[in-house]
Structure 1
Amino acid sequence: MTYLDSKVGDLSSSPLPYAKICVIGAGSWGTALASVARRAGRETAIWGRDQATIDAINTRNENPKYLPGIELPDGIKATTDMAEALDGAEAVLLVTPSRTLRDICIQMRPHLGENVPVALCAKGIEAGSGYLLSEVAAEILTDHQIGALSGPTFATETALGHLTAATVAFKFSYADRLAPESSPASRLAISLGSEFFRPYISDDLVGVEVSGAVKNVIAIACGMMTGAGFAENTRAALIVRGMDEMKTLADVFGGRRETVTGLAGAGDLTLTCSSQTSRNMSLGVQLGEGIPRDKCFGGKPVVVEGEVNSVSVMDLARRMKLTMPICECVYRILHQGAGVRETFAQYWSRPIEGERRGLSISIDHPVTMDAEAS
């Protein structure tokens, strides 16, 4: 057990919760998190762009566009005015797609109170720069601690009050290690905790973020194989080998492997790869069934984070000279026009390797040897 683990596990005093939490983003996950905060007894504000959605939250406790039919807790204050939403906020949950994160941070900056921590609730890597989302936010919100909230969390189930667990991660300063109960991670965890929502605390922000970015890509791979007619054995293999790719990238950035096997890694990966409630899994299934990308989701322009992340993840992998073959398969299919079955057949027939890295073995797969012999 580490020093941090022992201190967090035996707090000498209870963390002080944040009185007001502001959620930026009134989509399904943002609305679900506003419900979590309100059920935990916090004053809760939510900001969104769509006036009709904001009006519905305020007048009838519902987000009909993203969570139709689900009654939200009383008292969530919704607005399209960024300054109004952030007024008096002691902590912020930033729930915006990776592609809009930079712009939203710029909009937030003039209205954030001094030293207000910001937890990112989207998953991904910024296209082009290759920055983790926390690095993007930190570049703009220079005077604020940046963290993340991540885990196996479908928005609908969370909003309905089904038991849910997630990880709250912030980097720990020296002062945080001396008094972990006063850290932003601990205070946000206690602010959101309720009989419906159980947060865990982490100081491995990098491990949490990398896990979230890569798991979306692996979920598309699992969907592709499911749509192509493969069964549970295949999906289980992709989940476990995909987790190894998550560990590979986390290692390079200084993340810890045990984080990848926790809620934000293995937990989220397993959930996302197991249900078409996930847009990543759903996209993969449709592509595996042979539906052209522009016809997926009935032709609607649905943003799928794993599709965007696949480019950023492979850019990083190539830059760092890492081998991430499942992510490579997804990238080739999504962005280079490769066929699903042919691409994964090549993955399956790669040289046979030792499962642990210390076992240095690489021998040709029988399928490859048979092809060469013929």
Structure 2
Amino acid sequence: MELLEWHREQQEAKLSGRYITLQDIEPLLKQYEDNGEVSVIGRSVNKDTIYMYRTGQGPKKVLMWSQMHGNESTTTKAVMDLLKFLKEENAVARRILEQCTLYIIPMLNPDGARAYTRVNAVNIDLNRDAADISQPESFALRRVFDEIAPDFCFNLHDQRTIFNTGDSPKPATLSFLSPATNKERSITPPRKKSMEVIAAVNTVLQRHIPGQVGRYDDSFNINCVGDSFQTLGVPTLLFEAGHYPEDYNRDMTRQYVFRALLAALQYVADHPVSGEGYEAYFDIPENGKQFFDILIREFPITIAGEVVLKDIGILYKEELRDCKIVFTPYIEEIGDLQGFYGHKTYSASEKTLPSIEEKNLETSTLLKLFL
């Protein structure tokens, strides 16, 4: 069975939507104890459990962690799908588990997951705490890293809907990064190895989402965990789950993250990963930031008594309400937005509309005219 077909039919049905908490994944982890080992590696600020799942018997050690940012849950869903897949009797799963030992932290920031915030319970961004290691969640991850001495690290995140690939009108449904190890962004041996794996993953993904894979900015920041681990000599891959058209719950993106995880693990299992294949990494276009969730073209706006036509870019703010994520639109930018794209685009010139004074522009009023 083709791997995406397996995912469509067999993905973990108990997880859906954007709001994924520790209470959602705890019972699922217990289902896989007969295929691996569930351990407690630490406690969050609010004393919630931070779990790690170990499976496989191979010599190549892969450490991965998800939901370091509590409001980035797509990769957590894909990780739980991966655990279900690895329990299946199939050749791909057997090969990975024969060649690799996987150490998986499915939710590093359970407090942030419950509050649906990027930060932890004391407003610290764990992905800016790699140098200080000031938080219990950061300490748990670093202690595991030191004890395991992994051969590869997978740092799993979500990215905003604003990203496109290169200058194209295609969204960056997945983005990747081989983090820098210094301000000069030198192409070091561990970077080459992670670049080689990412290039292999991109080859697979281009068959499914052509033109929708981007390369994330590689500015160096030693406070970022990926930069820190790669600086310590461990090839580290940053995964960023992004937008797929009409998929704000990221259920389509979820399946491509799952496919990317398998592609990375298959490549690590089947190849020595010397870094020789790193140059194909640069064939992946860099991410642009040229998307709005909604783009309204040539809207008549009254400014100082004069009617002018301007573009209006609208983004969604994700808000937690009654254990559900609500997407609330707000005006991000007004002006000449040529070169930008909308996940939905409307042309005001196709309607007969009264002009509105700029100070009176309200998102709800605008959207009622088009939706």
TM-score (norm 1): 0.30
More helix by share: 1
Q: Bigger relative contact order, structure 1 or 2, given CA contacts below 8 A and separation 6+?
A: 2
